[in-house]
Amino acid sequence: MEYIPVLVLVISFICLLAIGTPVAWSITISSLLTMLVTIPAMPAFTTVSQRMATGLDSFALLAIPFFVLSGELMNKGGIAHRLIAFAKTLVGSFPGGLALINVIAAMLMGAIAGSAMASASAMGSILGPEMEKEGYSKEFGVAVNITSATTGLIIPPSNVLIVYSLASGGVSIAALFLAGYIPGILTGLFLMIVAAIWAKKKKYNVGKRSTLKQVFSTFIDAVPSLLLLVIVIGGIVIGIFTATEASAIAVLYTLILGFIYREISFKNLPEVLLNSASTTAIVMLLIGASMSMSWVMSYENIPQNISSLLLGLSDNPIVILLIINLLLLFVGIFMDMTPAVLIFTPIFLPVVTKLGMDPVQFGIIMVLNLCIGLCTPPVGSVLFVGVGVAKTSIQKVIKPLIPLFLAMIFALFLVTYFPQLTLWLPSLFGF
């Protein structure tokens, strides 16, 4: 009898996804059906709707709409062009120079905007045609763009790390932000190595070496954009303001910057606000639905049962972490990142803490793991954005994607089994 709620939850969720029900509604309906197994209809409906509402009642979540808005302002404000120009002077003369520019610019853009889809859209529309002009295959350019766009979800400020902080019961957002730097940069570095090897093998064109004057000029042009990172992260780490307050400052700063660059005007502000509101609504609905499912699973003791099952399989931390990583990789293929973090953090976090892992490290492992899922069908949102911008097909992109996937998995392996890669910076600043 105790396994019936679990079966109802899993089977109903999978069936709803299979028939094309939106993820948020699949989560909500399967949670409701699970509650109906154990309690009457009226309390079940009331409980699920109440948990959706209370799940959104968090001060930390206010940061998400602000960061979404600042990301939208950056996308429209000409920041991507300046970051690409700066990256071009740094690595344009290396093998696969344009691919390396894509990775570095995506890391900078993603870190500033905190959105993988915004980064994939901006880099794809600006760099995609240029790469084709220089003789790069369209599919290779798309593969590099898709995978590099996800690095901005690990390098702070990141909305997903804020969601993980909520799901984990209050892990420090500042510590998570600091912990994301080295894994994010490491992932980007591995992607660059693979891209350079692929480009050399295919004998793609190499750009001209930039002069010191050109590097300095593009750097000065990009400084106002890069300064946002210093203001936001520096302010959070030093303790001048919280992550939520930092997100509001980011909006104000990017708005002023957009007007200074003359890329944003009062005329296109309504469109920016509407796009931000639409994205925020989708994210918040997913969060509310996922919080209701998390509560239902807790009520039915599902996390405790899975924890006991995993710890019963082996007492070797290496084996358990490998199993969790494989499960998360599988989950990432079928589920969007936000609900996956909210649903599976309460399940796996107790397991890894019993093994002695720091919750901050596990947060980075989980996000890095699910970033790979964003690049894979059938639910890979970044994959669809990248393919859509380039006007190509998923089937054609798969081949050049595989070595880049392996680079991301190798980065995940290092982050999983070498804790100092994530914990060194937080410990340096006393977190």
Q: pLDDT tens, 22-69? A: 878 888 899 899 888 888 888 888 988 888 888 787 777 787 788 878
Token pair 């994939």 in the structure block, residue: 120
The tokens for 362 are: 């596990």
- What is the distance between the terminal CA atoms of the chain, rounded to a whole angstrom? 44
The tokens for 121 are: 């859209």
Alpha carbon 418 to chain centroid, angstroms: 21
Q: What is the enclosing helix (H) or strand (E) of 424?
A: helix 420-428
Contact criterion met (CB below 8 Å) for 332 and 369 = yes
**Cα(421)–Cα(213) distance, integer angstroms:** 35
**Cα(276)–Cα(262) distance, integer angstroms:** 20
**Cα(45)–Cα(49) distance, integer angstroms:** 6
Token pair 């902080």 in the structure block, residue: 165
Orientation of helix 269-299 relative to helix 159-167, angle to 10°:
20
Kindly report the average pLDDT of the chain as a whole number: 83
At residue 37, the pLDDT reads 85
At residue 110, the pLDDT reads 66
The tokens for 245 are: 């307050």
pLDDT tens column, 70-96 = 877 877 777 777 877 887 787 767 777
Q: Is 265 helix (H, G, I), strand (E, B) or coil?
A: coil
Is residue 316 packed enough to be buried (19+ CB in 10 Å), middle (13-18) or exposed (0-12)? exposed
Contact criterion met (CB below 8 Å) for 117 and 382 = yes
Q: With a cut of 50, list the residues of the chain below it in pLDDT.
A: none
At residue 111, the pLDDT reads 64
At residue 359, the pLDDT reads 94
**Cα(372)–Cα(8) distance, integer angstroms:** 28
At residue 373, the pLDDT reads 84
